[in-house]
Amino acid sequence: MNKKNLLNYTVEELENEMAILQEPKYRAQQIFISVHKNNVNEIKDIYYQNRYE
């Protein structure tokens, strides 16, 4: 599986990716904010960062 640079995605593109993965649409917004505002580099780090804020 190839890693994708999440900085290159718009919210709409992330929503499409979430649909493919059968994840809720709101996950796209969570990922977008985490990547652009909180400087998260990997998906696995989003949970931990949001949990302890």
> Which residue carries 């999440």 as its tokens?
6
Q: For residue 46, give the nearest of 32, 8, 13 by alpha carbon.
A: 32
Averages of pLDDT over each 10 residues, the chain, 53 residues: 84 96 92 87 68 47
pLDDT of the residue at 32: 92
pLDDT of the residue at 12: 97
Dihedral sign, CA of 29, 35, 39, 44?
Answer: positive
- Mutual angle of helices 26-36 and 43-51, in 10-degree steps: 90
pLDDT of the residue at 3: 79
Alpha helices, H only, the chain: 11-20, 26-36, 43-51
pLDDT of the residue at 19: 96
pLDDT of the residue at 6: 87
pLDDT of the residue at 52: 46
Instruction: Quote the tokens at residue 7.
Output: 């900085």
